[in-house]
Structure 1
Amino acid sequence: MEKSPNKINLLLYPISLIYGVGVWLRNKFFDWGLLEERSFNAPIISIGNITVGGTGKTPHTEYLIRLLQKRYKVAVLSRGYKRKSKGFVLAGDDTDVSKIGDEPYQMKKKFPNVHVAVDSDRCHGIEMLFSNFTTADTEVILLDDAYQHRYVKPGINILLVDYNRMLCDDALLPAGRMRERERNKSRANMVIITKCPEDITPFEINVVRKKMDLFNYQELYLTTLSYGKLYSLAHEDGEYPLTKIKSDVHILVVTGIASAYKLIDDLKEYSDNIHHISFGDHHDFSKEDIKSIRDQFEQLPDRKRMIITTEKDAAKLSSHPALDDYLKQYIYVLPIEVKFLSDQEKMFNYNINEYVRKNPRNSSLS
């Protein structure tokens, strides 16, 4: 079983100190005005983290899409991590995953009416969204994974923190997983503690509040992972919930995400036989990887076996040339969503909607 990633490599602390000086200096350049933060006359919401991967950025971005798309024309702007393209790319219905990256590809497939674009230069990406004829109707922009991209000053800055790896228990890269020091959480307007136990107690919530030690202007929310219904990668044969999985079925879980420990633990509630193949985050599956998946799958008992993967991994697996129809028919995709705890959903939704309503897009950029 994969453990919660709380290890800190003490031997790498000297390198972390050097890295920390560089990050501190960069942030000071922004604070002193030597590097420019640009504001735009439009509602812009940033979703990001301080730690490297695994906090649930995509499910939380998708939550915001669902919340806002009924009333506004939403655009999502990402850098398109590990994409095989350069500059600004606007996703179309048939855009290949290699051109925009797995997470933007996933969001475009799930929300075809939402504009999805990638650009490592977020300021340029915003300008392109507002000036491009196809996306000129954009009313609100969601910046995916942009907490460290300080060239854009968002109206709301949302910081995600993994419940299982609180900032006070972590360290700077490479000794730990933090991109910058804990004190830089002060830039956030909202802090969301993700992957919380669904049965978290009031006492545990108070412990979280004390550990985070937020300022009065910062709002604290708690969310947990919620799973949608499984659907087949090979064909449209409907959806069915995890509860229909029989306990004696052998499940091969294939993941290429930063942190799969909670997913694996949750799936053990439905099957006594969980087998896990773990790849690195945003993994590009090779022909050898597909063969390895097939070999391990063939070792499982016939007629009582299946493969479960995430939507992010399915984005790359679905069109992989080495994945044949035989293996594909056994692969099921598990959507991951988020659910707010402690009756906080209404307050979060209200604050987001009020910000967008009070800050409508103007025709000119500042």
Structure 2
Amino acid sequence: MKLIRLLLLPIVPVYYLVTWLRNLLYDAEIKTSKSYDFPVVCVGNLSTGGTGKTPMVEYLIKLLKADYKLATLSRGYGRDTKGFQLANVNSSATLLGDEPFQFYNKFKNDILVAVDEDRQHGIEILSALKKKPEVILLDDAFQHRKVKAGLNILLTTYNQPYFNDIVLPTGNLREPRTGAKRAGIIVVTKCPEALSDSEKASIEKRINPKANQLVCFSTIGYSTVVISSEKTRPLASLSKFTLVTGIANVKPLLSYLSVKNLAFKHLEYKDHHSFTAEDIARISENELIVTTEKDYMRLKKHEVLKSKLYYLPIVCHIDKASVFNEKVKNFVAR
């Protein structure tokens, strides 16, 4: 794969030019973006792959849900449906996509969860509801420039920061690095817990934020328990299990489990993998299965897995939490 991407290097200038020109047209208002008279917060990234958008959206939900009527709006990647869908008791990961279904399962009593490939269209429908939201959180919509979010939160990972990358197809960037200028907050995600202040300063210097941009650093914290539909168990009590993952970057999870000296084997699938009957039969051969919360949304419907399937929750920790929270809350309050 690396060789193929290297061979595609001559295409990089073409991709760069096309995406740069597209942004230029939006910046010059030749192509139009729609603004709204209520708070719209976008969580996104410049790169392909997992940067921790789901934990960040959940962080924002917990931060705001007590004070505002919230809605999340996602594309619904990997779903079998098209167009606008509003989550309800009959929804599933198949109808909504993994992450939106996860939001619904965790926060269905507090927020609205919707999906639509066209975020502008989705916002229009949400705004027309009788009980319309006061704040809309856009999941993975940084490049969806038909909508002009009032606050953009850009995520980039510690191991693969956007300033060390180039655009597709040889690199992983969806657009040139200059796109970072649209962000109000830049969060370096999946950092090691022992990240020093000097290294943070070095990274922030590479980012070179504008005066109005806040740079934060976050870590992913894993729970000490695993959860099923019926019970909760201490992670340390699992003597042997099979780990099933279908996420973009599994390295932090593997590192965490290894540090805990847990005995497990790993069945790894691609991000947003659609589990087949053959996959389920293979997975069900194991006595105890631990998976991510996102994968759990797709796997829990299979009766053959019900008594043996658990997920390991994660949470996002931000180093400048009070400053971050204040910036978000001040934007929403305005």
TM-score under structure 2 length normalisation: 0.94
Where does residue 289 of structure 2 map in the other structure?
307
Cα displacement (A) at 1:53: 2.0
Where does residue 363 of structure 1 map in the other structure?
none
CA contact (8 A) 1:256 1:283 kept: yes
* Change over 3 Å in CA distance of 1:7–1:272 after alignment to 2: farther
Where does residue 121 of structure 2 map in the other structure?
124
User: 1:1-366 to 2 correspondence within 5 Å?
Assistant: 9-112=5-108, 113-133=110-130, 135-136=131-132, 138-233=133-228, 235-237=229-231, 239-242=232-235, 244-245=236-237, 249-295=239-285, 297=286, 306-320=288-302, 323-324=303-304, 327-341=305-319, 344-358=320-334
User: Which 10-residue stretch deviates more, 170-179 or 122-131?
Assistant: 170-179
CA contact (8 A) 2:227 2:233 kept: no
What one-letter code is carried by the residue in structure 1 that aligns with 2:121?
Answer: H
Please state whether the residue corresponding to 2:274 is helix, strand or coil.
coil
Tell me the distance in 1 between the aligned counterparts of 2:156 and 2:188: 5
Please state whether the residue corresponding to 1:81 is helix, strand or coil.
coil
Please state whether the residue corresponding to 2:42 is helix, strand or coil.
strand
Tell me the distance in 1 between the aligned counterparts of 2:322 and 2:95: 37
Cα displacement (A) at 1:168: 2.3
Tell me the distance in 1 between the aligned counterparts of 2:55 and 2:240: 27
What one-letter code is carried by the residue in structure 2 that aligns with 1:192?
Answer: V
Cα displacement (A) at 1:79: 0.9
Query: What does the per-residue CA deviation read over 1:178-198, in whole Å, with 9 as the maximum and x for residues that have no partner?
Result: 111112111111000000111
Please state whether the residue corresponding to 1:268 is helix, strand or coil.
helix
Tell me the distance in 1 between the aligned counterparts of 2:4 and 2:266: 24
Please state whether the residue corresponding to 2:91 is helix, strand or coil.
coil
User: Which 10-residue stretch deviates more, 82-91 or 43-52?
Assistant: 82-91
CA contact (8 A) 2:6 2:170 kept: yes
Please state whether the residue corresponding to 1:53 is helix, strand or coil.
coil
CA contact (8 A) 2:45 2:156 kept: yes
Cα displacement (A) at 1:272: 4.2
CA contact (8 A) 2:226 2:290 kept: no
Give the percent of matched residue pairs that are identical in Structure 1 and Structure 2: 41
Cα displacement (A) at 1:17: 2.2
Please state whether the residue corresponding to 1:85 is helix, strand or coil.
coil
Query: What does the per-residue CA deviation read over 1:4-24, in whole Å, with 9 as the maximum and x for residues that have no partner?
Result: xx9994222112222222211
Tell me the distance in 2 between the aligned counterparts of 1:222 and 1:293: 36
What one-letter code is carried by the residue in structure 2 that aligns with 1:33?
Answer: E
Q: Structure 2: which 5+ residue stretches go unaligned?
A: none
Tell me the distance in 2 between the aligned counterparts of 1:339 and 1:225: 6
How many equivalent residue pairs?
A: 333
